[in-house]
Amino acid sequence: MDTSDRHILSEGLQMLRRSNIQINSGDLHDLDLRFPDGSTRHVSVKASRAAPPPSKLHEDSERQAADRRLYVTRHATSALRALAGSGEVDLIAVGDRLIIFDGRVFLDDPSHEPRSQQRPRRGSPPWVRWAIERLVVLGEPMTQADIAAALSTTQQSVSHALHGHAFAERTSSGWTTTRRVELLDAHLGEYPGPGGAVTYWYGLEPVVNQARAALTFCEEMQIETLQTGDVAADTYAPWRLPSTAAIYTSEFLDFVPAGFSPATADDYTLVAAVPADPTIWRTARAVSSTATALTDPIITLHDVLRSPGPDAEEAAERLRQPIISGTWRD
């Protein structure tokens, strides 16, 4: 699932919530849903910006005869509409404002238009290379074997990423950089963020308390969680009063039992994302010096730069400087 497909899924999840279809749990590939009449359904998610052609629909049917398939796309073709109308598959067509489950139509509220998304580039993101760059910027010199172990990858992958790298160099102590500013800026200029699909929530408590409540709820549900954005930055380099809470979770959760209400991309206080980048958990563990689960400082910096508020850039600079000087741990 590339970045454009994950944007489609995020919009589809918002449509489900507005249609009173609850997401009980799941991830980028499978969802457990509860409908307004109390019935439940497990679906295998097929998200793509372009609707699959009839040949792909037939191929999916043969491969996943036992799984209920939910197609999430921008616009539905006549073939896909026909299959959804007959109850053979389920459908969310974001651009058509159309939801069909088991042949039943659930119309989305057309007054809630999703935010327009910049059309992202296609291709498989080099998550491991980007994670290696973050470790080189943040840590003491690391051997090739240590980097591979930290990221659960092969030494060959590490070698391929670092040999000939413009800003990394190998010393007797391991891989490091003497050009931290250049490497950090190049990384931030290329890295698109952890991606994934998001859900939005609104709470009445102070933002730090909301982050704590969400984290506690995830722990109770035994869901892996990382705090990021303003709240994580406030731990690494206190300066800005957090205006929103942001977390990454290993699965989708309904945060209503934790005291939140469903929200939109325009009025949220908590955003929860299931990331596409599998390395953010590994770099967090590799550099963590706190008891609270935080994204590594560079992921945090990336997310602060994209957080709401007119002082986001200044807040990000307050974190960027300790990263460059290596004092973010202190």
99 shares its domain with 184: no
Q: Is residue 122 in a domain? A: no
Whole-number pLDDT of residue 311: 83
CATH code, 153: 1.10.10.10
Is there a single domain that holds both residue 186 and residue 204? no
Same domain, 227 and 186: no
- Check whether residue 258 and residue 171 sit in a common domain: no
Which 8-state DSSP code applies to residue 253? E
Output the pLDDT for position 330.
Answer: 55
Return the pLDDT at 13.
92
User: What pLDDT does 312 receive?
Assistant: 84
The total domain count for the chain is 3
190, 208, 224: which is the final residue of a domain?
Answer: 190
Mean pLDDT of the chain: 89
119 inside domain = no
Is 120 a domain residue? no
Q: pLDDT per residue over 110-164, tens digit each?
A: 444 444 444 444 568 999 999 999 999 998 899 999 999 999 999 999 999 999 8
Tell whether 114 is covered by a domain.
Answer: no
Cα-Cα-Cα-Cα dihedral of 83, 11, 94, 75, to 10°?
Answer: -80
User: What stretch of H or E contains 183?
Assistant: helix 180-190
Q: Which domain holds residue 184?
A: 127-190
Report the pLDDT averaged over residues 189-204.
Answer: 94
Residues in a beta bridge with 225: 249
The fraction of the chain above a pLDDT of 90, given in percent, is: 69
Question: How does 96-112 read in b/e, with b if 16+ C-beta sit within 10 Å?
Answer: eebbbbeeeebebeeee
Among residues 183, 203, 196, 207, the alpha carbon closest in space to that of 298 is found at 183
Is residue 317 domain-resident?
A: yes
pLDDT computed for residue 1 by the predictor = 57
Question: CA 292 to CA 324: how far, in whole Å?
Answer: 23
Same domain, 68 and 150: no
Would you state the pLDDT for residue 242?
Answer: 87
Residues 10 and 80 in one domain: yes
**Does residue 229 surpass a pLDDT of 70?**
yes
Note whether 46 and 162 are same-domain residues.
no
Same domain, 266 and 212: yes
Q: Is residue 62 part of a domain?
A: yes
Asked which of 142, 167, 190 is the last residue of a domain, the reply is 190
In tens, the pLDDT along 61-116 reads: 888 766 789 999 999 998 899 999 999 999 999 998 899 999 999 875 544 444 44
What per-residue confidence (pLDDT) applies to 219? Answer: 94
Average pLDDT over residues 269-297: 90
What average pLDDT score do residues 200-208 get? Answer: 94
Instruction: State the pLDDT at residue 309.
Output: 76
* pLDDT for the residue 119: 45
pLDDT of residue 289: 65
Average pLDDT over every residue of 286-300: 85
pLDDT value of position 290: 64
Task: Kindly state the helix (H) or strand (E) to which residue 31 belongs, with its residue range.
Answer: strand 30-34
